Structure 1
Amino acid sequence: MSLHQAKAKNRRSKVELLPADIKAQLNEMLRDGRMQQIEIVEAINQLIESKGLPEDQQLSKSGLNRYAKRMEDIGQRIRQAREVAEVWTAKLGNAPVSDLGKILQEGIRALAFETQMDMAEGKISADPKSLNQMALLCQRIEAAAMSSHKREKEMRQLFASEAAEVAEKVASQQGLTAEGVAALKREILGIA
């Protein structure tokens, strides 16, 4: 990548530099889909002019097209992620949130592994910053897994405790002996 390309890549687009209210209107026009891009450019440039902004802030057709394409690509990825989530949610039914978290953790582990393999094969650069980020990602994945496991264990203990209290109350009302109630409670709590 040349120095000029690197500078161009880091430079903010005219759309990103628009005042928030104009950018919000632009985004609404794109989402609505009733206007063609040329009409959107004309409408936004009229807004820019009416606000007294410099003429060099006006949008070009190609600039708007690049922005619209980027927003569509992002929207497509979001739609795909939602579809995947719907499939897995339907497959798991009413599975605990921790199960969904485990799936996400496994997905991130797989992605990290693929990235590591691409680095090893030279498909992508293995610079120190990337390696550091990969190590940090692995550390966070494992910390999240441990946290999920701990939370799941605490939830099970809380549920067992509540179930034991209800069982104790019902068993006592049904005339079970104190020894029988204690045995039932131990079984539910996993102490037996």
Structure 2
Amino acid sequence: MEHKKRQQSSIDRLPEDIREQLQELLRDPRVTQLDATARINAILEEQGQEPLSKSAVNRYAVKMEAVGAKLRQSREVARMWIGRLGAEPQGEVGKLLNEMVRTLAFEAVVEMSEGSEAVEPRMIRDLAVAIEKLEKAASENVKREEEIRKKALEEAGDRVAKLAKKGGLSEETVREIRERIMGVAS
């Protein structure tokens, strides 16, 4: 089956500065889509370019709103979880943030692959580097947590051993208790 490359939308073909003006107008709640279309078409007419259709601007505005809604939702979820985990160990917050960034990266790649424009190699490289750094940070967090847990068990073992000696247990029993506690760390 032959894949056809989708044609760029009239919005995507706009010069960057004009597209940015359109985005700014669409974000302004005081400006209607019709007003935004008229203002941009006036600029395009001055430059001798083809005007935008109202339906093209509407499709673009709907797409922008959907992306904005996803971003707002992601931020709200992050705020909720970070608020909940704020009192939790730092590692849990880090894990959550790593997972969120991985999810966002995955969604971005899927969206890019469905888009009409080719994905820039630089974007792919930057995404790969970011994911590599995330994985390294996650791995370091796991190691750090493991070390903290092991140290806590060692300290607990030492305290139990001291108490057991005070309580009159034999050296052999104390050593066995300590080894069992340390066995949990292994």
* CA–CA distance in structure 2, aligned partners of residues 124 and 152 of structure 1: 43
Distance 1:183 1:133 in 2: 53
Distance 1:179 1:124, change over 3 A: farther
How many corresponding residue pairs? 121
Distance 2:124 2:103 in 1: 16
CA contact 1:172–1:181 (8 Å) conserved in 2: yes
- Runs of 4+ in structure 1 deviating by more than 6 angstroms, as ranges, are none
1:170 is matched with 163
> Could you say which structure has the greater relative contact order, defined with CA pairs below 8 angstroms and 6 or more residues apart?
2
1:184 is matched with 177
SS at match of 1:126: coil
Deviation at 1:2, TM superposition (A): 2.2
> Distance in 2 between the 1:124 and 1:104 partners?
29
Contact (CA 8 Å) 1:118, 1:124: kept in 2 or not?
A: no
Displacement after TM superposition at 1:95 (Å): 3.3
1: distance between equivalents of 2:97 and 2:117?
24
Find the counterpart in structure 2 of residue 141 from structure 1: 134
With structure 1 as the length reference, what TM-score do the two structures score? 0.54
State yes or no: 1:121 paired with 2:134.
no
Structure 1: segments with no counterpart, 5+ residues: 10-76
Q: Which residue of 1 aligns with 2:5?
A: none
Pairwise CA distance, 1:148: 0.6
Aligned-partner Cα distance in 2 for 1:119–1:177: 68
Could you tell me how far apart the structure 2 residues matched to 1:143 and 1:137 are? 10
TM norm structure 2: 0.56
Please tell me the root mean square deviation across aligned C-alpha atoms, in Å.
Answer: 3.0
CA distance in 1, matches of 2:130, 2:152: 32
Q: Structure 1 residue 95 and structure 2 residue 88: aligned? A: yes
Identity %: 32
Deviations 1:148-169 (A, max 9, x none): 1110111011111111111111
- Is 2:124 aligned against 1:131? yes
**Do the aligned partners of residues 171 and 154 (structure 1) sit closer, same or farther apart at CA in structure 2, a change above 3 Å counting?**
same
SS in 2 for 1:160: helix
Residue 182 and residue 95 in structure 1: after superposition, are their counterparts in 2 closer, same or farther (change >3 A)? same
Q: Counterparts of 1:147-166 in structure 2 under 5 Å?
A: 147-166=140-159
Deviation of 1:86 after TM superposition, in Å, equals 5.7
Using the TM superposition, give the Cα deviation of residue 170 of structure 1 relative to its aligned residue in structure 2, in angstroms.
Answer: 0.6
C-alpha separation between the residues in 2 aligned to 1:93 and 1:175? 43
Q: What pairs with 1:57-76 in structure 2 (closer than 5 Å)?
A: none
- State the Cα distance separating 1:98 from its structure 2 match: 1.1
Query: SS where residue 106 of structure 2 aligns?
Result: helix
- Shift in CA distance, 183/177, structure 1 to aligned 2, threshold 3 Å: same
Change (3 A) 1:93 1:171: farther
